[in-house]
Amino acid sequence: MENNIVPIPAPQPFRKRVSYGKKVFLMGLQCFVLMIGALIVCIISEERESRLTDVSQSIHEEWGSVLSVSGPEILDGTGVSSPLCPESYKCDINVESRLLHRNIYEVCVFDAEVNMSGNFKTGKVKATDDSVKLKVYVNPKTITGLKDVVINGKPYKWSKSSDHLFAMIDTADLTDAVKFETSFYSRGSGGICVGQRSKESEICITGYADNPSFGGSDIPNTRLIEGKNFSACWQNSSSRYGDRNNTWVARVDFLVGVSSYQKVSRSLKYSFIIILLTFVSVLFIEIMMKHPIPLFNYFLIGAALVLFYCLLLAFSEHIAFGYAYLAASVMTVVLISGYMWRILSSKKTGMAICVILTGMYLGCYIMLCLDTYALLLGAILLFAALAATMYASLRIKQ
């Protein structure tokens, strides 16, 4: 008689039920720990930006700061009478900007050609000597080229003082109406200011530069910006005739765009949200697939998200910020997606995480580009993320 022996199944390992409440709490702690890494990247970015500021200041001191032009005016030999300013005055300035490089840093500077002309009524000039002084206020240290001043067709050489140019004009060449014209080449950075020293004036500033902004005591009569080419003209009559302390009538500032360091710092503001949303997405995948993921794996995913900002900072110092963002985000998305694929042995899950991360990084980049609407777009994206989380939670069975 054969014995019917029923095989006894091998004992299954005991699996303790996962406490998702405790796991969520520990994930929150991980988020705060990872934010320390994001803070370190922020500190490094500020240090690099501070270095850029020092380099920029050094270049500005060597090259020249804002180009300020005021004058001309005629002073008689006594030096007591008020200076004589032109009846009419025209100033044309042509600007061409360029970048100066020092190591990995670059600073925008410009070269300018200044052409001045006009006429004086010199009947009231009392010349006690054989000559009078014609002055133009401009920093002589920034002048790279200087042409003679022509008075009624006769050229005179300029001389340089600490804060102005001057030429000694023979009184014999002064008639009741004196025409003058001159030009010089100068360099600078940051902007151009022109003071009005005449009853009637026409000031035109044209050229090639990034982000020109027009200002002064008067708004320009005409202005035009086409790409990086710009032009602006001021035509006016002044009640401040002869007042050397008046405000700058014409002013063009070459605004500095948002630097890559500032963009990195701004992107770091969204790091906590990206880490949190990524953790929530992974948690929902874990629950729906009923495949527990250790907290250590969560931490490694968070570390990859923080490393994104370090990559972004490093790449942005050598290539344009948009390309740096693309390179850093692609590396991060591919790394995390592939990691999730291997953890869960599911290509579909890896692709889902890839889509989620791509959407988050794309939304973050759009917010960086649309500074004015960043808050609105951010609020909409957070609402969409919350709605998706709420409806995804309906699939979780207790």
- Mark which of 203, 235, 254 sits at the end of a domain: 254
* Per-residue model confidence as pLDDT tens digits over 4-20: 555 555 544 444 445 66
In a domain, 181, yes or no: yes
**What does the pLDDT average to over 125-132?**
66
In a domain, 123, yes or no: yes
In a domain, 145, yes or no: yes
| The pLDDT value given to residue 258 | 61
Residues 109 and 137 in one domain: yes
Residues 239 and 304 in one domain: no
* Number of folded domains that form the chain: 2
Quote the mean pLDDT of the chain. 80
- Provide the CATH number for the domain around residue 194: 2.60.40
Residues 109 and 243 in one domain: yes
Task: Label the pairing between strands 200-208 and 149-151.
Answer: unpaired
- Please report, rounded to a whole number, the percentage of residues in the chain having pLDDT higher than 70: 83
In a domain, 317, yes or no: yes
How far CA 160 is from CA of 133, 216, 245, in Å, comes to: 12, 27, 21
Query: Is the predicted pLDDT of residue 240 greater than 70, yes or no?
Result: no
| The pLDDT value given to residue 110 | 87
Residues 177 and 316 in one domain: no
| The pLDDT value given to residue 12 | 45
Residues 80 and 190 in one domain: yes
Residues 248 and 291 in one domain: no
- Mark which of 225, 254, 283 sits at the end of a domain: 254
DSSP states of 158-224: -EE-SSEEEEEEEGGG--SEEEEEEEEEEEESSEEEEE--SSEEEEEEEEE-SSEEEESSS--SEEE
Residues 234 and 288 in one domain: no
| The pLDDT value given to residue 306 | 92
- Two tokens at 137? 């206020």
In a domain, 288, yes or no: yes
Three-point CA angle 317, 322, 327, nearest 5°: 80
Q: Which domain does 116 fall in, by range?
A: 66-254
Residues 107 and 235 in one domain: yes
In a domain, 61, yes or no: no
In a domain, 25, yes or no: yes
In the DSSP assignment, the letter for residue 269 is T
What 3-state class would DSSP assign to 33? helix
Residues 219 and 77 in one domain: yes
**What does the pLDDT average to over 47-60?**
80
**What does the pLDDT average to over 102-114?**
81
* Per-residue model confidence as pLDDT tens digits over 160-212: 888 888 888 887 767 777 888 999 999 888 888 888 667 788 889 998 877 78
Residues 105 and 150 in one domain: yes
In a domain, 296, yes or no: yes
Q: What are phi and psi of 263, to 5 degrees?
A: -65, -40
Report the largest interatomic distance among the alpha carbons of the chain, rounded to a whole angstrom: 148
Residues 290 and 309 in one domain: yes
- Mark which of 254, 284, 302 sits at the end of a domain: 254
- Helix 20-63 crosses helix 271-289 at what angle (to 10 degrees)? 150
**What does the pLDDT average to over 111-121?**
88
Residues 35 and 99 in one domain: no
